[in-house]
Structure 1
């Protein structure tokens, strides 16, 4: 870790339709750190991710992304330097896996007409697919892929611009057990192979956190409850408070799980 700030928010509020969605959010993400945004449904996790991804502006406070302050930078240009993985990728045509990855170069959903990638870019796309275990699927069409295969394809797509920041919005949504484990293994491998990369992953299931998670931020009703190193934040006491429900947190081989105290006692 170099200590270089990739993301920083200071006193961020977000008001939409008269409702306070985020309240006084402070977060600082350094190179090489991998943050989890945790909280119940409606806590503001995806809303905060929209600010960190230079999609929306704060109502109050400041947001710095890759050294640029929102409101003083071309948001579209800034987003081209951020890898954003959305499992609800709105692709309308049956592109191949390889073509979907190539759209990460142009930061578009579809292929740009009359545009063609360079040999080096094609080679990079192939290498990323190989790293994420998708090399054998490169000619498969998007509609035929499983949700897990789509997730790994979208991570490869997000990495094409060689971003310093990767944002993952509930990447394990809709995955069965095997697909989830394949995806989390791929994320761990990606992080190990790119030590300069910073990432932020949104989820409300502790079981969906990769073992490589280094930090966490707990959100409740749009407000900051706790943040810091993962082992200090993802605790029985703080997670129980965050979700307003008593749970017992365990960590085994780097992975977290949560059970109610009664089930924990029975086990």
Structure 2
């Protein structure tokens, strides 16, 4: 199986601080990965490497078959979709949601004099329908809720048919309803065989969409564990990642983590079972 992303003993050092330490990680075509860890684990730095935004201090990186350092990164970046708060900050609040999406075809964040052909418009409308946001087409970006904002940004990232889509904490700041709407959209995306490789960063297991296949757990710039979600995301591995004992449950493909009971609660029948 061809790899979309391959890191071999990658380290990132800034001054006397090691942000990533000897990371080896391989993401194959067709996989949907979660990158999970606490603040300061190195998740965002890892996404910068995956998006060809920075080069490693040490180690080798291959992105979509191209060796970082031996490829024109500006061409490479056109093959990668990216959803983050930094992109949202560049979009004029007066821009319509439909134009936010279609303008990605020209890699601009505000419509000027560029002209879009029928294929661009058809692609935009298809994406909006698939993500359930057609009703937002004429709304201005500045009037969208945080959840609507994130779904429009995902639509924008898909406009150019990327081969890999990086989602950097897309659920951050969302209320419960908005989060569930977003996860429903990501579930549809993950189930589509024509979707790009998906890599999503989060702090919370509750934000893992159904259909994601693999997980990478990070702590202090080190890999704690990586592999298939069903066997790698365990209470024991979560405890090592977050530094506290956690009980993990899974219901219908959705995960929940709670701190393990202690003291008299730990021995109470009402405290439930503990496990991995």
Q: Normalising by the residue count of structure 1, what TM-score does the alignment of the two structures yield?
A: 0.95
Per the TM alignment, residue 194 of structure 1 is displaced from its structure 2 partner at its CA by: 3.4
Per the TM alignment, residue 197 of structure 1 is displaced from its structure 2 partner at its CA by: 2.2
Gaps of 5+ in 1: none
Look up the match of 1:106.
Answer: 106
CA distance in 2, matches of 1:59, 1:232: 32
CA distance in 2, matches of 1:121, 1:194: 22
Per the TM alignment, residue 109 of structure 1 is displaced from its structure 2 partner at its CA by: 2.6
Per the TM alignment, residue 212 of structure 1 is displaced from its structure 2 partner at its CA by: 1.1
Per the TM alignment, residue 238 of structure 1 is displaced from its structure 2 partner at its CA by: 0.5
Gaps of 5+ in 2: none
**What stretches of structure 1 move > 4 A for 4+ residues in a row?**
none
Look up the match of 1:12.
Answer: 10
Per the TM alignment, residue 108 of structure 1 is displaced from its structure 2 partner at its CA by: 2.9
Q: Is the 8 A contact 2:190 2:212 kept in 1?
A: no
TM alignment of 1:228-243, pairs within 5 A: 228-243=227-242
Look up the match of 1:152.
Answer: 151
Look up the match of 1:214.
Answer: 213
Look up the match of 1:266.
Answer: 271
**1:194–1:117 Cα change, 3 Å:** farther
Deviations 1:192-245 (A, max 9, x none): 223452110000111011011100011010011110001122100000111001
Look up the match of 1:62.
Answer: 60
Largest Rg, 1 or 2: 2
TM alignment of 1:164-179, pairs within 5 A: 164-179=163-178
Per the TM alignment, residue 136 of structure 1 is displaced from its structure 2 partner at its CA by: 0.9
CA distance in 2, matches of 1:107, 1:28: 28
Q: Is the 8 A contact 2:10 2:21 kept in 1?
A: yes
Look up the match of 2:121.
Answer: 122
Per the TM alignment, residue 86 of structure 1 is displaced from its structure 2 partner at its CA by: 0.9
- Number of residue pairs the alignment of both structures matches: 264
Deviations 1:127-163 (A, max 9, x none): 1011111101101000100011011101110011111
1:212 partner SS: coil
Deviations 1:68-121 (A, max 9, x none): 11111111111111111113421352210011001221223333x431111110
What do you get for the CA RMSD once the two structures are aligned? 1.4
